A and B are shown apart, each in its own frame.
Chain A
Amino acid sequence: MFFKKSDFMSIAAIIAVSAAVWAARAAYNGALPGASAKAEIYYEAELVETVALNVGGDRTFSIPRHENVVFRLYGDGSICFAQSDCPDKICVHSGRLRHAGESAACLPNKLILKIVTE
């Protein structure tokens, strides 16, 4: 049996609950004073760089020994993988991160970018 009528109910329920949790989290994050958020960059399992997010100004940077990957910090306190030499570019497609708990990874380069609070 490929699908039954009740599947549509289940799927609608899954989507509704997920969307509600998503919206609640976004609202919660929006209410937080964002000043304490920082980004951590890991190479393999090692923390190699910590970046304060809400400092204003726009800049791009790389971490030492990994100039093939470029990060960009935006004036609004978000950060992303701007460029990478990896084949799939999943890291770049992950887009801008700003809330604690969000992360992006470039597995071919063994780099992880994640947002934490202090």
Chain B
Amino acid sequence: MKEQSGVPATIKKTRLLALTAMLFAVSIVLAAVENSFPPPIAVPGIRFGLSNIAVMYALFFLGKRRAFMTAVLKALFVFCTRGAVAGAVSLCGGVLALAVMSLAVVLFQKKISYLMISVAGAVAHNLGQLAAVSLIYTSLSLWAYLPVLLIAGVAAGTVTASLLRLVLPVLRRLEP
């Protein structure tokens, strides 16, 4: 984050808190919007993951801690509204996606584009969700789905990265 002179630290902290809460709200709204449309392809657990836009913004501009907080809050919301299993599935997908995206940022620094980070995150998100279902219920063959997950991840990652690019100018104005 950029240092801003003249703004006291407590106000900055409050703004950051409000911004994180708002991103959490945005991620829920995006998930709701996405769920109101039929799934783009007929494979369980594969979707665009529009709420990843909010999480990616948090990761890129507010730091890992805020991003993980957004993902965990979102899983808690799913837990409250759709039950324990859905919550666990959401948590696994969200945390694995963030872990992979953070790792990509740390490993490649400025050499990796948002597009590729977004694709990696999308693949990890779907893989995490499938792994969670697999652990909770009955083992599914993740390898059989890997090609589909990769192709779907490329599509989903491209969509979310493009949308992030579109809304970025607006989001950046909110920064503390």
Contacts and interface: CB of A to CB of B under 8 A. Distances in A.
B38 to A, nearest CB: 7
Given A45-B137, A88-B35, A3 B42 contact: no
Interface string A85-101: 00011110111000011
Contacts of A47: 138
B32 interface: no
B14 interface: no
Interface in A10-38: 10-11, 14-15, 17-19, 21-22, 25
A15 B151 contact: yes
Nearest to A8: B115
Contacts of A40: 138
Contact of A107 (B85, B138, B141): B85
Most A C-beta atoms less than 10 A away, residue of B38, B113, B119, B165:
B113
B119 A4 contact: no
A17 B151 CA distance: 10
Where chain A touches its partner, the secondary structure class is mixed
Contacts of A112: 133, 137-138, 140
Interface in A78-118: 88-91, 93-95, 100-105, 107-108, 110, 112, 114
B115 A7 contact: yes
Contacts of B136: 45
Given A18-B150, A103-B140, A114-B138, A93 B38 contact: yes
A94 B43 contact: yes
B123 to A, nearest CB: 9
B141 A103 contact: yes
Contacts of B172: none
Given A25-B144, A107-B89, A1 B133 contact: no
Interface of A: 1-4, 7, 10-11, 14-15, 17-19, 21-22, 25, 40, 42, 44-45, 47, 88-91, 93-95, 100-105, 107-108, 110, 112, 114
5 closest A-B pairs (Cβ-Cβ)?
A101-B144, A18-B147, A101-B141, A3-B115, A93-B42
